[in-house]
């Protein structure tokens, strides 16, 4: 598509299982020539009843004890500064509530 002159936008849903891969994803998308790179935080949907509770607790990124928030927020701040990247409001809120550092 890119060789044909079609602009390609990508989307990445951030969850526990992939949150450490977001900077690598940006590099991959840029190397392939994507014009826009989007990031969304995984959300709990209304169809996720009580049988989904364990899955949700393991995969959500808001209050997950398995996440190194310093590294995660630093990566999000780098992405946020990249004009080619867009992050959702949920990730912006996560930065605002968990941020303890700044990126130069």
| DSSP states along 38-89 | EEEE----TT--GGGHHHHHHH-SSS-TTS-HHHHHHHHHHHHT-TTEEE-H
41 contacts 86 by C-beta, under 8 angstroms = no
Give the pLDDT confidence score for residue 52 in this predicted structure: 66
Give the pLDDT confidence score for residue 104 in this predicted structure: 42
Give the predicted TM-score (pTM) of the model: 0.85
Average pLDDT over residues 74-96: 96
Flag the least confident range among 2-6, 16-20, 56-60, 63-67.
56-60
pLDDT digits (tens, 9 = 90+) for 34-60: 999 999 999 876 666 676 677 888 889
């Amino acid at each position: 598509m890119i060789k044909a002159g079609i602009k390609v936008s990508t989307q990445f849903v951030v969850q526990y299982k992939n949150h450490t891969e977001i900077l690598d994803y940006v590099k991959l998308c840029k190397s392939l020539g994507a014009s826009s790179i989007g990031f969304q935080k995984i959300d709990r949907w209304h169809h996720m009843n009580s049988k989904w509770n364990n899955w949700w607790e393991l995969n959500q990124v808001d209050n997950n004890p398995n996440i190194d928030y310093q590294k995660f927020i630093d990566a999000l701040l780098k992405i946020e500064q990249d004009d080619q990247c867009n992050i959702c409001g949920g990730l912006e809120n996560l930065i605002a509530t968990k941020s303890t550092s700044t990126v130069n």
